Amino acid sequence: MLVARDLRKDYPMNGETVHALRGASLTVEPGEYVALVGPSGSGKSTLLQIVGGIDTPTAGTVEILGTRLETLSDRELTRLRLTRLGFVFQRFHLLPVLTARENVELPMAEAGVKGADRRARARRLLDYVGLGHREGHRATQLSGGEMQRVAIARALANRPAVLLADEPTGELDAATGQEILDLFRRLNTDGTTLLVVTHDERLAAQAGRTVHMLDGRIVSEAAAP
């Protein structure tokens, strides 16, 4: 489903070159739940962004569902992110002027889903993440955990093949973070493929496979017992 081969990423910072990735390779199979862990600056987020098509590698290739990302134009890459990938970020990034339902509708509207259909699906997704009763509330009226659940519903809007999450519990307290972990587990049980960057040991523990990174390289992988 997702194959990254020998990824390298260099970028300049304050006049020096940062080697964010130094030959990282990763494969994620359909239905897998993979946690990417490692210390800050180890290249986890960079790897996630490159396999998610929002950044480009200095060298190496990424293949998603048989499509080589480097062969795609910006427009095609945007379309792929919209329809085949789902993203969840640490800081949620919901549009504060829209309601929870409208935030979930946004990717569907972009994909051209008709109004009634997307409203119905947005409601179903909000019910799925346990926020059906909050659909009319603006993002600013939701708690951190609720915002992250809306963000997850938004990521699932166009039925992505893979859900990519970058520190999804990073901004949440332990109890709220646990709710997100439970949601992720349920998502995976229901068939969603997950690749999650995290510092949260609980999240890593519940993943099917944990990939450890250090200094831009994958140093070890461990399947759940």
Partner 1 sequence: MTGLGWGVKSLGRHPLRTALSLAGIAVASAMLLDMVMLSGGIEKSFSDLLLARGYQIRLTPKGTLPFDTEASIGGASHAVRTIRADSGVEAAGAVLGTSIYGRAHDSLVTLFGYGIQPEAQGIYQVTAGADLAPGDTLGVLLSETAAQLLGAAPGDTVTLVGRLDPQMADAAVGRRLAVRGEVRWIYDYRGQPSVGTVLPVMQRLGRDAAEDRASLLLVKVADGAAVEDVAARLRERFPHLEVSSVADLVVQAKRRLVYFTQLSYVLGGMSLIVAVLLVGTLLTITVNERLGEIATLRAIGVSRGTIVRQVFAEGTALTVLGAGFGIVLGLATAEYLDAILTSFPGLPASFSFFVPRADTLGLAALVLLVTGSLAGLYPAWLASRAPIAATLRAEAT
Helices (H), the chain: 44-51, 74-84, 100-111, 115-128, 144-155, 174-189, 201-206
Q: Taking the alpha carbons of 206, 210, 214, 216 in that order, is the dihedral positive or negative?
A: negative
> Does residue number 193 form part of the binding site for partner 1 (CB under 8 A)?
no
Q: Is the CB of residue 166 less than 8 Å from the CB of residue 45?
A: yes
> Does residue number 198 form part of the binding site for partner 1 (CB under 8 A)?
no
> Does residue number 81 form part of the binding site for partner 1 (CB under 8 A)?
yes
> Does residue number 42 form part of the binding site for partner 1 (CB under 8 A)?
no
**Minimum distance, C-beta of residue 73 to partner 1, in the bound complex (Å):** 12
The continuous run of DSSP H or E covering 87 comes out as strand 85-88
List C-alpha distances in Å: 161 to 20, 22, 77, 124, 146.
26, 27, 15, 18, 24
> Does residue number 105 form part of the binding site for partner 1 (CB under 8 A)?
yes
> Does residue number 12 form part of the binding site for partner 1 (CB under 8 A)?
no
What is the 8-class DSSP label of residue 95? -
> Does residue number 95 form part of the binding site for partner 1 (CB under 8 A)?
yes
- Taking the least distance from each CB to partner 1, the nearer of 5 and 79 is 79
What is the 8-class DSSP label of residue 161? S
- Taking the least distance from each CB to partner 1, the nearer of 63 and 110 is 110
Facing residues of 209 across strands?
Answer: 34, 223
Q: Which of 39, 68, 70, 111 is the binder for partner 1 (CB under 8 A)?
A: 111
Could you say which residues in the range 43-62 bind partner 1, by CB under 8 A?
A: 45-46, 49, 52, 54-55
Q: Which of 5, 19, 22, 93 is the binder for partner 1 (CB under 8 A)?
A: 93
Give the Cα separation of 123 and 132 in Å (integer): 6
CA dihedral 43→13→95→76, nearest 10 degrees, is -70
**Minimum distance, C-beta of residue 225 to partner 1, in the bound complex (Å):** 32
> Does residue number 115 form part of the binding site for partner 1 (CB under 8 A)?
yes
Q: Taking the alpha carbons of 199, 201, 203, 204 in that order, is the dihedral positive or negative?
A: positive
**Minimum distance, C-beta of residue 222 to partner 1, in the bound complex (Å):** 26
> Does residue number 110 form part of the binding site for partner 1 (CB under 8 A)?
yes
> Does residue number 155 form part of the binding site for partner 1 (CB under 8 A)?
yes
Q: Residues interacting with partner 1, by CB under 8 A? A: 11, 45-46, 49, 52, 54-55, 74-75, 78-83, 85-87, 89-91, 93, 95-98, 102, 105-107, 109-112, 115, 154-155, 158, 166
